[in-house]
Structure 1
Amino acid sequence: MRIEHLEVRYLQIPLVTPFRTSFGTAYDKDTFVVRVVADGVEGWAECGAEADPLYSSEFLRGAEMVLREQLVPRVLALGGDVAAHRVASATAPVKGHHMAKHVLETALLDAELKLHDVSFGTYLGAERDRVPAGVSVGIMDSVPALLDAVDGYLEQGYVRIKLKIEPGWDVEPVRAVRERYGDDLLLQVDANTAYTLADARHLARLDPFDLLLVEQPLPEDDLRGHAELARRIATPVCLDESITSASDAATAIALGACSIINVKPSRVGGYLEARRIHDVARANGVPVWCGGMLECGIGRAPNLALAALPGFTLPGDTSASDRYFATDVTPAFELDDDGCVPVPTGPGIGVDVLPDVLEEFTVSVESLTLRGGPRG
């Protein structure tokens, strides 16, 4: 393929309810999407970075700068052979910046698959046409407010509940949810690096609640601490922020730092690396599930395709569109009666962008005009 045009479109989409984690509270989804035109075909992708470098070291404005000054020039240097699978090797000299690499690779992959009339699911190796949907519940002001929120999500049909936790909001909300809904509810918690190994005894207080997992309890660079924590608690340890590559996954599994992995394509540099992580985990008997970054439909569609691979045996954060947005920039994803979301089957990401809605939420549009060549 030959790239004809590449642009970044910043969006601000209101959330239906504020979403609070240990990092802070979000009221809007601030993101950017990349639109690429290659061989006359449009490709779209959503950047997973957030406005501030709290979940990871990457952030939106930084991701755009890296795209403009480093990644795009290196990919354009490929000339007329800009196949998506070549993006990783072309951009490998640039250390890190996985979310910037992800959005470029994904936009090109979307265009490439549309050219060949192939869906993301078919390309990645999906084996299901729908995936069970879990929902992530943010930190609330009170336990009664939390129970009201969980009531609503269960009534909608979600098959798994994930509670965000932090010191001071952990054991009691988990106890309240388990007591209200019983042992049959699939329940897990996500700490987003809010604890240290010194909190192991406290985290062990979650063991009686028969949780599916505790996600990323310790800082992302503390694999040794996670391995030690896994020996001290009965609840399975799942890693999220710690896993940025298939190599990271192999190391964490070998160390005993996790028994479950949350795969987020944006965090690991794209869907091709995400598939490699899936393959490593599956070869080692480690279940994986697909996490989310509050994506709009442009990012949610390919996540659903990934979640349909055979190793994704746990419900992911592949919620319906109305979990976050009153109006999405693509046709809305909806829950089936059995709590599943259909995997798109159209070419590429499988959904069309709604121009009027996209324009409504657009803050700015910037062409990725080169500012000199890449350094190094």
Structure 2
Amino acid sequence: MFNGFLQRTAEFQALELRIVDLPQRSSFQSGIGRRNSRQALLVGWHGANGLIGYGECSCRPDPYYSAEFLDAAALLIERFVAPKLRDGLSYEELLALLGRIRGWPFTRAAVEFAFHDYLWQRDGESLFDQYAGPRVRQVPVGISLGLQDSPQTLERTIHEAQSDGYRRLKFKVDPDFRQADFAACRHLLTNDRVYFDANGTLSPDDLPLLEFLTSFGNPVEQPFPPHQIEWIERAQGQLPQLRICLDEEVKGLPTLATAHRLHYLDELNLKPGRVGGLAESLRILEYCRQHRIPVWVGGMFETGIGRSFNLHLAALMPDAYAHDLSPSSRY
């Protein structure tokens, strides 16, 4: 699949870790919590002739989206990854080294991104170039919008997103979602593709809310916690029209294949960090293409470093309606 690219080797002198904190222009509220800034762990692969490849660990500073969080990610790299790196390491050897670590996909991905970026700068070729599938020159984008505290702020948020030209508006929801407020603004959304993302905060007991969300005609993203995937079958037994877009549930190709075999997903939000890196993302993309699973790139409020990888990955998905690739003007 990668045409020998994984046999390429990289010079190595040092691995640099740096946590940055980018203030946001406005806070963002989801079922996970409130975010006022973007903290990110940046990984620098120092090689020959002053060349540095950069990667980003896009997990949160807390363990509420996944088990990973920034401080622990940095510690894992310092103790279990950096000491094993050496000059002349091949891409394939790096993936094998990282593959020994159970879990920690965001952390493993950050090191792979840095290694890959170093090769890309040095050789002028990337793993994206090896992918045989179709691609696009312009990537359609949508935006993820946080929980709103009043009909007025919701209406203003909708107008702002529409004026910016986003192809899809995705709204965060939780069990306390203000359904009446949203119903009052529904007339504003007649020409928009509307999605909802629960970040795993709902249960089958939230059937009235799920019925409202499905009335917009699109899959509901990650309605249930990732360790409760069987709730999908239970909810669909009562609400057959419920379609599912998985996010947190899919941590790699094996979990995707299992969910697909069990008919637990209709669409996939693909986040390169969440599935363990670029090589795994491309394998997942190929699986989705072969099995006709709609797929698009999701975001974790990445810095420009992480977003650049997401953008190149999104360019390999010509059938995607929109990706969560909002601009850096949020910071």
1:253 deviates by 0.7
Among 13, 16, 23, which residue is 1:14 paired with?
A: 23
- Secondary structure of the 2:58 match is coil
Look up the match of 1:101: 108
Please state if 1:216 is matched with 2:222: yes
- Rate the CA distance shift 1:233–1:81 in 2: closer, same or farther, 3 A: farther
Look up the match of 1:277: 284
Structure 2 counterpart of 1:4, one-letter code: Q
Look up the match of 1:39: 48
1:39 deviates by 2.7
What is the alpha-carbon distance in structure 1 between the residues aligned to residue 131 and residue 146 of structure 2?
A: 31
Gaps of 5+ in 1: 326-376
1:121 deviates by 4.2
1:62 deviates by 0.5
- Secondary structure of the 1:150 match is helix
Look up the match of 2:262: 255
Look up the match of 1:342: none
Look up the match of 2:120: 113
Please state if 1:267 is matched with 2:277: no
- Rate the CA distance shift 1:24–1:84 in 2: closer, same or farther, 3 A: same
Structure 2 counterpart of 1:202, one-letter code: L
Identity %: 29
Please give the per-residue CA displacement for 1:187-207, whole angstroms capped at 9, x wherever unaligned.
Answer: 100000111122234312323
Please give the per-residue CA displacement for 1:139-194, whole angstroms capped at 9, x wherever unaligned.
Answer: 11112101101101110111110000011215334434432221x21110000011
1:275 deviates by 1.1
Please state if 1:133 is matched with 2:141: yes
> TM-score, structure 2 length as denominator?
0.91
C-alpha contact (below 8 Å) 2:136/2:318 kept by paired residues = no
CA RMSD of aligned residues (A): 1.7
Please give the per-residue CA displacement for 1:7-48, whole angstroms capped at 9, x wherever unaligned.
Answer: 111111110110110111111111121111123321011111
- Secondary structure of the 2:89 match is coil
Higher relative contact order (CA 8 A, sep 6+): 1
What is the alpha-carbon distance in structure 2 between the residues aligned to residue 312 and residue 235 of structure 1?
A: 22
What is the alpha-carbon distance in structure 1 between the residues aligned to residue 23 and residue 215 of structure 2?
A: 38
C-alpha contact (below 8 Å) 1:166/1:191 kept by paired residues = yes
Aligned positions, number: 319
What is the alpha-carbon distance in structure 1 between the residues aligned to residue 99 and residue 222 of structure 2?
A: 27
1:238 deviates by 0.5
- Rate the CA distance shift 1:198–1:51 in 2: closer, same or farther, 3 A: same
Look up the match of 1:26: 35
Structure 1 counterpart of 2:230, one-letter code: R
Look up the match of 2:5: none
- Secondary structure of the 2:139 match is strand
Please state if 1:5 is matched with 2:14: yes
1:230 deviates by 3.8
Please state if 1:60 is matched with 2:66: no
Please give the per-residue CA displacement for 1:238-296, whole angstroms capped at 9, x wherever unaligned.
Answer: 00000000111111011111100100011111011111111112211110010000011
C-alpha contact (below 8 Å) 2:147/2:172 kept by paired residues = yes
C-alpha contact (below 8 Å) 1:120/1:305 kept by paired residues = no
Please state if 1:143 is matched with 2:143: no
- Rate the CA distance shift 1:264–1:185 in 2: closer, same or farther, 3 A: same
What is the alpha-carbon distance in structure 2 between the residues aligned to residue 93 and residue 174 of structure 1?
A: 46
Structure 2 counterpart of 1:277, one-letter code: I
What is the alpha-carbon distance in structure 1 between the residues aligned to residue 325 and residue 23 of structure 2?
A: 19
Among 53, 59, 72, which residue is 1:49 paired with?
A: 59
Among 65, 79, 96, which residue is 1:89 paired with?
A: 96
Among 176, 181, 185, which residue is 2:192 paired with?
A: 185
- Rate the CA distance shift 1:320–1:85 in 2: closer, same or farther, 3 A: farther
Gaps of 5+ in 2: 1-9
1:72 deviates by 2.3
- Secondary structure of the 2:163 match is helix
What is the alpha-carbon distance in structure 1 between the residues aligned to residue 161 and residue 277 of structure 2?
A: 30
- Secondary structure of the 1:267 match is coil
What is the alpha-carbon distance in structure 2 between the residues aligned to residue 171 and residue 131 of structure 1?
A: 32
C-alpha contact (below 8 Å) 1:31/1:48 kept by paired residues = yes
Look up the match of 1:354: none
C-alpha contact (below 8 Å) 2:119/2:126 kept by paired residues = no
> TM-score, structure 1 length as denominator?
0.81
C-alpha contact (below 8 Å) 2:105/2:277 kept by paired residues = yes
C-alpha contact (below 8 Å) 1:261/1:288 kept by paired residues = yes
- Rate the CA distance shift 1:173–1:129 in 2: closer, same or farther, 3 A: farther
